[in-house]
Amino acid sequence: MQLLIKGLEDYMLPCLNKKLLGFECMGCGLQRSVALLLKGELLDAFFMYPAIYTIIALFGFLIINSFKNFKLGNKIIIILALANVIIIIGNFLIKLYLK
């Protein structure tokens, strides 16, 4: 597991938006957040990228729903997707205007 985490950290992609334009994009921190999750640093992963847990919930539900269709599956997917959009945009605006 440590080898996987080390390999992941060695090959992280740089944010071209940050390099070229000088500010972070809406996805900045996602790779590092996944690496922190794999290390077991759950709180640090949240602070790095707050939408990490709702993204995991969305993809997890999408996978489960593809095998067993839930009655309210579409509504749950829409709610999780909207929650992700709100958290990602909110985090982006906070980073943009408060840092």
Which residues are CB-contacts of 46 (< 8 A; sequence separation ≥ 6)? 33, 52, 53
Predicted confidence band at 78 (pLDDT cuts at 50, 70, 90)?
A: very high
pLDDT digits (tens, 9 = 90+) for 25-35: 888 889 889 98
Instruction: Copy the structure tokens of residue 5.
Output: 């985490």
pLDDT digits (tens, 9 = 90+) for 22-74: 778 888 889 889 989 988 999 999 999 999 999 999 999 999 999 998 899 99
pLDDT attached to residue 96:
84
Confidence (pTM): 0.81
Report d(CA 83, CA 87) in Å as an integer. 6
